[in-house]
């Protein structure tokens, strides 16, 4: 079962830095993330979701391949590829994998302008090593929501927050 962790920051850049640190830890097999999204609220008050994966592009690529393959069967690979790209892009744009976009946008609306948060759906992690890797972010954020156990959440708060509650 995956765990959701949401950490808020007073600026927009720190959430992106944390996402990069988590991606590095994932390459080192210390954490396995199902989804990671940075949500920013600009100075104009607009909430933006910065997804780690562009599902529209992935859908278009896979749709183009399958469309061309099916088009070859019917002796018109270009038409098949074009239809496949369009169908794949549409299905990718309509697909929501991982954390619910509506939930993230609603929570993002409650932020002050110029702030950000990172939403992480963690499949599994080597807790002590991940917390050690997050120590560079001490005092920079606030844990606003998790589905971790009380002990795990408390350990995360100690690493991220300056004065954990």
Tell me which residue of 101, 91, 95, 37 sits closest to 61, measured CA to CA: 91
Q: How many residues does the chain have?
A: 165
pLDDT tens digits, 52-74: 754 444 444 555 555 555 555 66
Reported as half-sphere exposure (CB side, CA atoms, 13 A), residue 47 has a value of 16
Q: Decide: 49 and 37 in contact? Cβ < 8 Å.
A: yes
The SS3 of residue 40 is strand
In the prediction, which pLDDT does 93 show?
Answer: 46
CB of 108 closer than 8 Å to CB of 74:
no
Question: What's the average model confidence in pLDDT over 124-147?
Answer: 92
Q: Which CATH architecture has domain 3-52+98-160?
A: 3-Layer(aba) Sandwich (3.40)
Average pLDDT score over residue span 66-87:
56
* Highest mean pLDDT out of 56-70, 73-87, 115-129: 115-129
pLDDT in tens, 9-38: 999 899 999 999 999 999 999 999 888 999
| pLDDT range class, residue 163, cuts 50, 70, 90 | confident
Global confidence as pTM? 0.72
As a whole number of angstroms, the distance between CA 122 and CA 89 comes to 27
Q: Where are the domains of the chain?
A: 3-52+98-160, 55-94
Distance CA 124, CA 53 (A): 19
């Amino acid at each position: 079962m995956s765990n959701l962790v949401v950490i808020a920051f007073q600026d927009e850049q720190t959430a992106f830095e944390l996402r990069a640190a988590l991606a590095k830890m994932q390459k080192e097999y210390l954490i396995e993330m199902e989804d990671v999204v940075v949500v920013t609220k600009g100075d104009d008050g607009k909430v933006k979701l910065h997804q780690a994966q562009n599902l529209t592009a992935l859908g278009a690529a896979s749709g183009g391949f399958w469309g061309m393959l099916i088009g070859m069967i019917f002796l018109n690979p270009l038409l098949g590829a074009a239809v496949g790209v369009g169908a794949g892009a549409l299905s990718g744009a309509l697909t929501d994998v991982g954390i619910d976009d509506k939930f993230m946008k609603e929570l993002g609306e409650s932020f002050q302008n110029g702030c950000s948060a990172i939403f992480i759906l963690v499949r599994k992690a080597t807790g002590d090593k991940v917390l050690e890797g997050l120590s560079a972010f001490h005092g920079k954020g606030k844990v606003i929501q998790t589905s971790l156990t009380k002990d795990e959440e408390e350990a995360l708060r100690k690493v991220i927050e300056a004065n954990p509650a």
